[in-house]
Amino acid sequence: MFVSYLILTLLCFQAAVLARPGGETIGCDDYLGSDKVADKCGVCGGDNSACKVVSGVFKHILTNLGYHKIIEIPEGATKINVTEMAKSNNYLALRSRSGRSIINGNWAIDRPGKYEGGGTMFTYKRPNEISSTAGESLLAEGPTNEALDVYMIHQQLNPGVHYEYIIPTANVIRPLLPPHRRPGDPFNGQLEVPDNTNPTDRGNSFVEQGIHTGHPSGSYPARQPGRLPSHHPDNQVPAVQPPRRNREYNWKQIGTTECTVTCGKGSQYPIFRCVNRNTHEEVSDNVCDSSTKPIPEEEPCNLFPCPAYWDIGEWSECSKTCGLGMQHRQVLCRQMYANRTLAVQPHNCQHLEKPETASTCQLKICSEWQIRTEWTPCSVPCGVGQKTRDVKCISNIGDIVDDEECNMKLRPTDIENCDMGSCAKSWFLTEWSDRCSVECGEGVRTRSVVCLTNHISSLPLEGCGNTKPSETMSCDNGPCQGKVEWFAGSWSQCSVECNSGTQQREVICIRKTMGSFTMVNPYECSFLEKPPRQQPCYLKPCGVKWFHTDWSTCSKTCEGGFRVREVRCLSDDLTPSDKCESQYKPEDTESCNPQDCIPEIDENCKDKYYNCNVVVQARLCVYAYYKTACCASCKRAANRQSGFLGRR
């Protein structure tokens, strides 16, 4: 069975090879083996009578710099070719009759590429190789749907511009098919040459004189996009091929695939199906010879430009690394022409809502200062010290980051001074003032009393407490002589020689009688405003002064002990100073209780044994028996022990 199938396949392949000697082509009517070709006018099977070629050379000498119109391309023109004859510093430009610039308008030189204009797509070429001598060119397949004008931007001597295009002729009569041929019948797969036409003369009847120079030009060869027509050189008559056996089924193009894009130039491919050559009815592809099926070739489609659209660029970086900032993006109106995207005027996109070009942004919440702990206790128990707290820069995710990431101007303080008040342990006193506050009668003497800490004495001081030593002491300079009614005597001297003190004066109620004055009971002057008897006074700042505490308790009750006090030099604001004169510094240590220790004789406390000193040495006095039997020795030992502890 397999051998039979293989033999059948080989026979079919041999028959197919014999059936298409020299190879087969697809005619312009989309039939495989058809000999129809498009003429230069684009007519399938035409005879070049439907169009004419217009060509010439523009060689006018131009003098002024700028734009000069050189060619007019009419509506319906195809196969347009405008080319400089040599490289120059001039530029070709193209615009419509309505004034719309297509290429190199408004003194702006466009890049080489494809540009839509006049209903067709123009290819703008500008060779830039150093060794190249070719000039610029404008090429288009056409047809144009409006008249177009070609300009030269003149900058140097015109090297000449060759132009050529094809336009249809009026009253076109389509050639009739030969009577012996039907539509779709192949003609040996060769290009048909009319009997009354010499191939070497074809095209000459379609030449028009050059517009500006008068020189004739050759015809433009016909070309079908996506097709490579099978033909021979014009000076060679094709060889007659032996007739082919007619096949009942053949491949035929029935259409094309959908365009890959809806606008802006896409691509599509022809679709071939197996059909009956007589009825044109589609049959299964297995009926036709698969080896003869043409290979689909890409064809352009949907060449018209796409609608304009907003081209949205990427957002710029946020203007701030944290917190609320701004970001921007570029929004351009663009339109696609023949696979080339161009920026166009914004009004072309007015049918669409324009996207925002600026927006707020926030990459992260800015780091902020955070107080992590409460204030610590003051570093000193009294006086001026410092207290601290923990202040950190915290990111928006709660991490501790460098202080530089937070605003240093807003940083909370993490250290402060703290005043715990005076370090009070003892009352410090000055000496009593030498002067009484009044010259006669009862007055007062004063001294300064302040509560300060001490740092010298190891002896226990009483501390300031609530009992403040008196700052005044009464004094009496004798009786005063009588004066006048509510009589206010002169102010006494200030109670202190420096800093703040008080002044006193006598105020009495007197009665004037015949040139004399008699003091009366004060209540008789009670209806009068009584002058004040005392007022503050301030002579001058003391500068510095020695202050001292009270004496401590004597270290011993007998046989000579010592007591101490603390002496300090203080300024007017009661701060320590070293400006006091050392020769006037009060003593801070003195002897006390120098009297001998006299033991008390107790008749009921006597030693009953002569060797009680052994009892003391053996420390047996703690026992009641020995304490009674050696009472005097145990008592003396106890007194010595208490005296020793006191000296410590």
Q: Which of 122, 148, 168 is the last residue of a domain?
A: 168
Q: Do 290 and 372 have their domain in common? A: no
In a domain, 602, yes or no: no
Task: Label residue 382 exposed, middle or buried (CB < 10 Å: 0-12, 13-18, 19+).
Answer: middle
3-class secondary structure per residue, 325-340 = EEEECCEEEEEEECCE
Q: Do 75 and 119 have their domain in common? A: yes
- pTM attached to this predicted model: 0.28
Mean pLDDT, 10 residues at a time, over the chain (648 residues)?
A: 43 44 63 76 79 90 88 93 92 89 84 88 83 87 92 91 88 37 34 35 34 36 35 38 58 88 85 87 88 87 84 84 82 78 86 90 80 89 84 85 84 89 72 78 83 57 71 77 67 84 87 69 79 88 85 84 89 85 90 78 81 88 89 85 58
- The tokens describing 606, both together, are 């006597």
Query: Would you say 437 and 506 are in contact if contact means Cβ atoms under 8 Å apart?
Result: no
Number of domains the chain contains: 8
Q: Do 552 and 633 have their domain in common? A: no
The predicted structure's pLDDT at residue 643: 61
What is the distance between the alpha carbons of residues 7 and 3, in angstroms, rounded to a whole number? 6
User: What kind and span of H or E run contains 125?
Assistant: strand 120-125
User: What kind and span of H or E run contains 646?
Assistant: helix 631-647
Write the single-letter amino acid at 273.
Answer: R
In a domain, 490, yes or no: yes
User: What kind and span of H or E run contains 544?
Assistant: strand 544-548
Look at residue 196 and give its three-state secondary structure.
Answer: coil
Closest CA to 161 of 144, 133, 136: 136
Closest CA to 529 of 506, 509, 511, 512: 509
Which CA distances in Å does 52 have to 218, 231, 328?
A: 11, 21, 57
Q: Which of 168, 185, 203 is the last residue of a domain?
A: 168
Q: Do 534 and 564 have their domain in common? A: no
Q: Do 59 and 132 have their domain in common? A: yes
The predicted structure's pLDDT at residue 314: 83
Q: How many residues does the chain have?
A: 648
In a domain, 634, yes or no: yes
Query: Would you say 24 and 40 are in contact if contact means Cβ atoms under 8 Å apart?
Result: no
Query: Would you say 295 and 271 are in contact if contact means Cβ atoms under 8 Å apart?
Result: no
Residue 333 is part of a domain; what is its CATH number? 2.20.100
In a domain, 27, yes or no: no
Q: What letter does residue 542 receive in the DSSP assignment?
A: -
What is the distance between the alpha carbons of residues 360 and 327, in angstroms, rounded to a whole number? 6
Q: Do 56 and 164 have their domain in common? A: yes
Q: Cα 178–202–160 angle (5° rounding)?
A: 145
Closest CA to 251 of 501, 25, 536: 25
The predicted structure's pLDDT at residue 476: 81
Q: What letter does residue 300 receive in the DSSP assignment?
A: E
In a domain, 568, yes or no: yes
Write the single-letter amino acid at 236.
Answer: Q
Q: Which of 249, 267, 301 is the last residue of a domain?
A: 301
- The helices-and-strands tally (H runs, E runs) of the chain is 4, 38
In a domain, 203, yes or no: no
Q: Do 73 and 60 have their domain in common? A: yes
- All residues at 6 or more sequence positions from 43 whose CB lies less than 8 Å from its CB, including other chains: 50, 174
Q: Do 118 and 80 have their domain in common? A: yes
DSSP class per residue in 334-381? EEEETTEEEE--GGGGTTSPPPPSEEEE-SSPPPEEEE-SPPPPPSSS
Query: Would you say 374 and 391 are in contact if contact means Cβ atoms under 8 Å apart?
Result: no
Q: Do 70 and 135 have their domain in common? A: yes
Q: Side-chain half-sphere of 93: how many Cα atoms within 13 Å?
A: 21
Query: Would you say 353 and 333 are in contact if contact means Cβ atoms under 8 Å apart?
Result: no
Q: Do 56 and 139 have their domain in common? A: yes
The predicted structure's pLDDT at residue 329: 86
Closest CA to 428 of 457, 469, 397, 374: 469
DSSP class per residue in 405-455? GS-GGGPPPSEEEEE-----SEEEEPPPPSS-SSSSSEEEEE--EEEE--S
E-only strand ranges, 133-258: 137-140, 148-154, 161-168, 249-256
User: What kind and span of H or E run contains 601?
Assistant: none
Backbone Cα Rg of the chain: 65
Query: Would you say 226 and 299 are in contact if contact means Cβ atoms under 8 Å apart?
Result: yes
Q: Do 497 and 533 have their domain in common? A: yes
- All residues at 6 or more sequence positions from 5 whose CB lies less than 8 Å from its CB, including other chains: none
The dihedral region occupied by 545, where left means phi > 0, alpha psi between -120 and 50, and beta the remainder, is beta
Q: What letter does residue 170 receive in the DSSP assignment?
A: S
Q: Do 70 and 117 have their domain in common? A: yes
In a domain, 232, yes or no: no
In a domain, 499, yes or no: yes
DSSP class per residue in 389-403? --EEEE-TTS-EE-G
What is the distance between the alpha carbons of residues 453 and 461, in angstroms, rounded to a whole number? 10
Task: Label residue 233 exposed, middle or buried (CB < 10 Å: 0-12, 13-18, 19+).
Answer: exposed
User: What kind and span of H or E run contains 613?
Assistant: helix 612-617
End-to-end CA distance of the chain: 135
What is the distance between the alpha carbons of residues 92 and 63, in angstroms, rounded to a whole number? 16
> Which residue's structure tokens are 């503050």?
536
The predicted structure's pLDDT at residue 130: 65
Residue 76's CB: how many other CB atoms inside 10 A?
17
Domain that holds residue 271: 258-301
Q: What letter does residue 600 receive in the DSSP assignment?
A: P
The predicted structure's pLDDT at residue 9: 45
* Cα torsion 158, 160, 166, 170: sign: positive
Residue 96 is part of a domain; what is its CATH number? 2.60.120.830
